[in-house]
Amino acid sequence: METAEYKIRVAPIRAAAHIRKNHALEHATIHLLTQSKPGVTFAGYSFIKGYWILGRAELQDIQKAAEMALARLNNGEKRLAIDPNCGTNLAVIGLCTAAAAMVTTLDMKDDDNALSRFSAYATAGLIGAAAGKPLGPKVQERITTDANVKDISIVSINCSSLRGKPAFFVETALDQA
């Protein structure tokens, strides 16, 4: 009789939940770094095993900000999980703009001239962008981040470089329930 080899896989829902929590923690970390280092630009990218912070800082700065971010989110400061510079905001604005442009084409005729088409698309784009701007933070709050990080722990923080600039990976783990 042959024995089957089984691989343990992370359930997709649990993986998505971990990424959303990392995304919230990434935003909070960047928020605190930005406060402590005015004028320095930071970026971040979240994954299932943690998140990257890109920007000029020392390992100790990242460690302090990440630990404080975790503590403050756990103390109810959920606003730290929402970032106005998040790519989610740009994606939502882009989708709203595209949807408005698509709706505009429904009323266009083949003989409409280029100026009237441009005017219609420009108006649709502005309406889509205006509608998308307040939706981005709401999408972050409800879909792409989860500020409830009580079951997350920081495992390690490693420093490397990306194109000669500091890059820090904050490894996290979901605590087993």
- Residues 117-129 have pLDDT tens digits of 788 888 988 999 9
What local confidence, expressed as pLDDT, does residue 68 receive? 98
Q: Mean pLDDT of all residues in the chain?
A: 90
* Bigger pLDDT: 22 vs 116: 22
pLDDT surpasses 70 at 79 = yes
Q: What confidence tier does 4 reach under pLDDT thresholds 50, 70, 90? A: low
Sheet holding 43-47, edge to edge: 43-47, 50-54, 165-174, 152-162
pTM, whole model, 2 decimals?
A: 0.85
**Domains in the chain, start-ordered, CATH in brackets?**
12-82+145-174 (3.30.980.10), 87-143 (no CATH)
pLDDT surpasses 70 at 55 = yes
- Residues 33-45 have pLDDT tens digits of 999 999 999 999 9
Burial of 145 (0-12, 13-18, 19+ CB in 10 A): buried
What local confidence, expressed as pLDDT, does residue 8 receive? 52
